[in-house]
Amino acid sequence: MDADLKDDDAVSLRQRKAEVPLYLKRIKVYPRAVGGQWRRIKWAALLLLLGVYYLVPWLRWDRGPGAPDQAILIDLDGRRGWFFDVVIWPQEVYFVTGLLILGAIGLFLATSLFGRVWCGFACPQTVWTDLFMQVERLIEGDRNQRMRLDRAPMSVGKALRKGLKHTAWIAIAAATGGAWVFYFVDAPSALAKIFTGEASLEVYFFVGLLTATTYTLAGWAREQFCTYMCPWPRFQAAMLDEQSVIVTYQKWRGEPRGKQKAGDDWQGRGDCIDCSLCVAVCPTGIDIRDGQQIECIGCGLCIDACTQTMTKVGRPRDLIRWDTLADQQAKERGASAAWRPLRARTLLYGLLFGLVAAFMLAAFLSRSEAELTVQRDRSPNFVRLSDGSIRNAYTVKILNKRRSEQSFALALDGLPEARLGTIGTETLSSLVVHPDAVGTFRVFVTVPASAARAGSHAIDFVIRDAAGFVRASHGAVFIGPER
């Protein structure tokens, strides 16, 4: 064909009109209230999680004079983490890292077993959004009333309701931001200071920041956060398989769907009466009947909605239910597939969880209240003294994690002919370390010329307490001149 008679780039007017824009205004979701088993579980989770979050900083724990009496306190200035009777030093932050690793593996395990239970029940975004929606319902009414209110022109009544709602939201957001800083400062005194204007700039900044994020994310962004911002929905597919229990619409039973008048025959049609209640209650505004989709947070509210409807029309419940994809597909063929919770991936996640937990527990139980670190001077590696003997210098640090002054005796293993010395007034047989502090000492190890060995020689520094028990040891080397 002649090239002039061809124009692949031409776009018809109709096609242009059908163009979906590159950017879309958010279509607001008005979730309808629903009661039922899963809603009750969600309320229980909400009460528990928010209760823990708001109340924990107020737990008191008597540690005697000179120590904070807050049960859980992360003191950034003092560089200590207080967890009841456990005090974590900055160099032990790996306990926190370990908890985070446990949390991640636990999340993987829960997801491969039960889909997005974290998203649906425990994620802060879900919990606070739920709370904000409930406040909204109390002030503006349920789904239909809210839609009507939004469509109505501005009036005194509408302004009042909207104003009241946002005030309530900001109050909750401020309480949330406030509770956060209480984990880092003494809660009762900080609360008073915040209101009298005496708190530090950092405190006000973080209260403000978390107030703003809570208000924006739980009040305005809601499902947008899960759909567009959160990375978790993007890679959770890697943990899910056909044996994960997720929220499913039992297509084999529901289709063909259609409206149903009372008394009509159920023969030749599916159980879904297309009441759209499952869509109306969905906090992310999706239709679970479309199958698995990235927006679904697995909260189970559509299950509650469908259970209501099925009970009303007298059909068996569980048209929308927790199920595995494997079972759902089997049922389409008239069979059924038993759930297999023990699979390679769940076993692996479980094993990893157990290993990390056991490792952390062992590390925690063997955690010593005195630690010893030794740094050898490397410039110079060794010094030859005037009588020909060889001396190495070390910086010895003793960490006393107890809340009382302790005295340690420092000794050396592995170099019998060595002589230990120090500068200043300390004596190595009673190195005094202040309570909850690090003692730094300079230690010289001297070997007489006759016993000096060439090259590097492994030694151990050991500290013993007053009763003669070994409290900690640390490996080091002694270096002599090459011959």
Partner 1 sequence: MPTKIEKDALSGQDTTGHEWDGVKELNTPLPTWWVYTFYATIVFAIVYCVLYPSWPWINSHTQGLLGQTNRADLVRQLDAQAKDRGALVERIRSASLQEIRKDPSLLAFAMAGGRSAFQTNCMQCHGAGGAGNTGFPNLVDDDWLWGGKIDQLYATIQHGIRNADDQSRQSMMPKFGVDGLLTGTQVAAVTDYVMSLSGRGQATAEGAKIWQEQCAACHQPDGKGNQELGAPNLTDGIWLYGGDRNSIYRSIFYARNGSMPAWSGRLDEATLKMLAIYVHSLGGGR
Are the C-beta atoms of 241 and 343 separated by less than 8 Å? yes
Residue that has been written with the tokens 């199920």 in this structure: 323
The Cα–Cα gap between 180 and 398 comes to 34
- Contact call for residue 100 and partner 1 (CB under 8 A): no
- Contact call for residue 291 and partner 1 (CB under 8 A): no
Cβ-based nearer residue to partner 1, 14 or 259: 14
Furthest-apart CA pair in the chain: how many Å? 113
- Contact call for residue 384 and partner 1 (CB under 8 A): yes
- Contact call for residue 26 and partner 1 (CB under 8 A): yes
Spatial neighbors of 30 by CB under 8 A, at least 6 apart, are 143, 146, 147, 280
Cβ-based nearer residue to partner 1, 323 or 436: 436
Long-range pairs of 133-141 with CB within 8 A, sequence gap ≥ 24: 133/31, 133/283, 135/165, 135/168, 135/169, 135/172, 136/165, 137/33, 139/164, 139/165, 139/168, 140/165
- Contact call for residue 23 and partner 1 (CB under 8 A): yes
Cβ-based nearer residue to partner 1, 23 or 195: 23
Among the residue ranges 88-96, 122-130, 371-379, 473-481, the one whose residues contact partner 1 (CB under 8 A): 371-379
Sheet holding 72-75, edge to edge: 72-75, 80-83, 86-88
Among the residue ranges 50-58, 84-92, 420-428, 464-472, the one whose residues contact partner 1 (CB under 8 A): 420-428
Residue 391 parent element (H or E):
strand 390-400
Residues from 183 through 242 that contact partner 1 (CB under 8 A): 224, 228
Cβ-based nearer residue to partner 1, 60 or 378: 378
Q: Which of 5, 18, 154, 467 contacts partner 1 by CB under 8 A?
A: 18
Are the C-beta atoms of 467 and 407 separated by less than 8 Å? no
CB of 91 to partner 1, least distance (A): 20
Tokens of 202: 């950092």
Q: Which of 267, 366, 386, 404 contacts partner 1 by CB under 8 A?
A: 386
- Contact call for residue 86 and partner 1 (CB under 8 A): no
- Contact call for residue 268 and partner 1 (CB under 8 A): no
Are the C-beta atoms of 117 and 110 separated by less than 8 Å? yes
Residue 52's alpha-carbon distances to 13, 29, 106, 176, 424, in angstroms, are: 59, 29, 20, 12, 51
Q: Which of 40, 312, 367, 378 contacts partner 1 by CB under 8 A?
A: 378
Q: Which of 39, 146, 222, 391 contacts partner 1 by CB under 8 A?
A: 391
Cβ-based nearer residue to partner 1, 220 or 266: 220
Q: Which of 255, 287, 377, 460 contacts partner 1 by CB under 8 A?
A: 377
Contacts with partner 1 by CB under 8 A: the residue count is: 34
DSSP string for 45-65: HHHHHHHHHHHGGG-B----T
Residues at the interface with partner 1 (CB under 8 A):
8-11, 15-16, 18-26, 224, 228, 377-380, 383-388, 391, 393, 423-425, 442, 444
